[in-house]
Amino acid sequence: MIAERLEKVRTDNGYSNKKDFTDALGITDQSYRNYMKGDRVIPTDVLVKIKQLFGVSIDWLLDGDESTETTKHVSIKQFDVALSAGTGNLPAEFELQVGERPFDIEWLNSRGLQPENLSLVNVQGDSMEPMFKDRDVVMVDHSRTHLNANFPFAIYHEGSLYIKFVQKKENTLTLHSVNTLYPPIHIDLEKEECRVLGSVVWQARSWL
């Protein structure tokens, strides 16, 4: 039954809370219940989203053909955004998708990463060398916004995007570079616009 396969997708991908699963799919709890009871046909756009998020074959979801059950990969979107590892980049948001990369679902699950919370973006500049180099690709987990001084974060500040280590003391946020040629950036949270966009959890580098 479709209901059993839909539940398998939910539980296999670590969604113990059905509300989190329906939010990821962009549907209401009532719609999900209707799909489970067979009162409503699952719309094509929802089927496509399930395939994109969880690597599940639409044929398997509808017909139960085990030969096409899953690709074991999910695509993470890559955006035309550069996180500055320098003195600041032009204003940008995570809006213009330029591609996507496949990731192993089990690998993501083992690290507590949910595909709908992830974005791939480019690094620009040399202030975080040797940890991050110009043109590296990094994965940002937008659900991880609780600051930890041991991890790099993607930060929006006054129209610029940064990848930095971050420390907070009272109403001041300090952005630290790895490259000692770059001084810390001090942000007055009461006077300046600043948002924590997420923690950097993965990177890729081309040696060419």
Q: What is the pLDDT of residues 178-196, one digit of tens each?
A: 999 999 999 999 998 888 9
User: Domain holding 29: CATH number?
Assistant: 1.10.260.40
Shared-domain flag, residues 146 and 180: yes
Shared-domain flag, residues 102 and 134: yes
Tell me how crowded residue 145 is: count the other CB atoms within 10 A of its CB: 13
Q: What is the pLDDT of residue 160?
A: 83
Q: What is the pLDDT of residue 91?
A: 42
Shared-domain flag, residues 180 and 109: yes
Q: What is the pLDDT of residue 201?
A: 94
Shared-domain flag, residues 110 and 185: yes
Q: What is the pLDDT of residue 97?
A: 66
Out of 68, 90, 112, a domain closes at: 68
Shared-domain flag, residues 124 and 44: no
Shared-domain flag, residues 91 and 141: yes
pLDDT band at residue 174 using 50, 70 and 90 as cut-offs: very high
pLDDT digits (tens, 9 = 90+) for 88-144: 544 445 556 667 788 888 788 888 898 889 999 888 888 999 999 888 889 999 999
The tokens describing 40, both together, are 């409503």
Out of 30, 45, 68, a domain closes at: 68
User: Domain holding 180: CATH number?
Assistant: 2.10.109.10
Q: What is the pLDDT of residue 90?
A: 40
Does residue 172 register a pLDDT over 90? yes
Interval 144-165 mean pLDDT = 89
Distances (CA, A) of 117 to 5, 46, 97, 113: 23, 18, 15, 8
Shared-domain flag, residues 78 and 62: no
Q: What is the pLDDT of residue 186?
A: 94
Shared-domain flag, residues 63 and 95: no
Out of 23, 47, 68, a domain closes at: 68
pLDDT band at residue 3 using 50, 70 and 90 as cut-offs: confident
Shared-domain flag, residues 56 and 81: no
Shared-domain flag, residues 88 and 175: yes
Shared-domain flag, residues 56 and 119: no
pLDDT digits (tens, 9 = 90+) for 35-73: 888 888 888 888 888 888 887 778 888 877 665 445 567
Shared-domain flag, residues 38 and 85: no
Give 55-101 as a DSSP string: -B-HHHHHH--GGGSB-SEEEEEEEEEEEESSS------TT-EEEEE
Domain that holds residue 159: 73-204
The total number of residues shown for the chain amounts to 208
Interval 73-80 mean pLDDT = 79
Look at the chain and report how many structural domains it folds into.
2
Please give the residue that has the higher pLDDT: either 152 or 44. 152
